Structure 1
């Protein structure tokens, strides 16, 4: 199955993460949402690949989110999916204003400012992400 997903990632301590060519960013402890699309070969198996990076079972860094997921301070908590629809940038736009954007991360193949957002509390982030996906289903 293919579609759009948002990963919910907890950063257990403030840390600096190197995001490849995007450089090093200082990130606060709290919750991060990364929105991506799974329309390539394998579809949502991309989410399982991200989970392997988060579990430190895969050291490959192909996407910006891999740098955050591969950090020992991070933990992949959950994901939210919209099946069958390529609404990655629409979900991101729905998150803007709801939670804080982390400029320039994960948006190298579109005109969005970012695909990574932050909130200090899980409930704030998770409700914003679920709302953003729900808006695109209706």
Structure 2
């Protein structure tokens, strides 16, 4: 199974407050979000499939911070971009947008692995560029 780094492009059409495990409540504005994670274990990019299952309601278990956002009924998982390298923090740091403090970054020193942006195209282009830059 292929492994590496992935970024999920997520739409949140309504203002939402979610409880994110030990992080507590997070108030999120409507817009587009990009979450960057790693899929380096034995399952590799099967983790992305698991995230899709949470987003569609096929899976209820909330294990990672992103599960709480994906599990919200208004959330739409638009797409996933993958890169077969370990570049999670480097990619997360270069994405355009506002960082959601500590989200998805409990095991590193990054400010956040979740960013928000009002413009889908800008965020999507930023994701593509970050993954291309770190692919080599």
Same-fold call, TM cutoff 0.5: yes
CA shift at 1:25, angstroms? 0.9
Quote the residue 2:90 is aligned against: 90
- Determine whether 1:68 maps to 2:69: yes
Quote the residue 1:22 is aligned against: 23
Instruction: Give the 3-state SS of the residue equivalent to 1:71 in structure 2.
Output: coil
The answer as to whether partners of 2:93 and 2:113 remain within 8 angstroms in 1 is no
Poorly superposed stretches of 4+, deviation over 2 Å: none
Following superposition of structure 1 onto structure 2, how do residues 45-60 of structure 1 map, counting pairs within 5 Å?
45-60=46-61
- Determine whether 1:2 maps to 2:12: no
Instruction: Give the 3-state SS of the residue equivalent to 1:4 in structure 2.
Output: strand
Residue deviations 1:10-36 (CA, integer Å, cap 9, x gap): 001111011111011110111000000
Q: Which runs of 5+ in 2 are unaligned?
A: none
Taking only aligned residues, the RMSD between alpha carbons, in angstroms, comes to: 0.8
* TM-score, length-scaled by structure 2: 0.96
Instruction: Give the 3-state SS of the residue equivalent to 1:10 in structure 2.
Output: strand
Q: How many residues align?
A: 135
* TM-score, length-scaled by structure 1: 0.95
Instruction: Give the 3-state SS of the residue equivalent to 1:40 in structure 2.
Output: coil
Distance 2:3 2:94 in 1: 21
Instruction: Give the 3-state SS of the residue equivalent to 1:73 in structure 2.
Output: coil
Distance 2:121 2:98 in 1: 14
Instruction: Give the 3-state SS of the residue equivalent to 2:78 in structure 1.
Output: strand
Distance 1:17 1:127 in 2: 27
Quote the residue 1:34 is aligned against: 35
Distance 1:131 1:37 in 2: 17
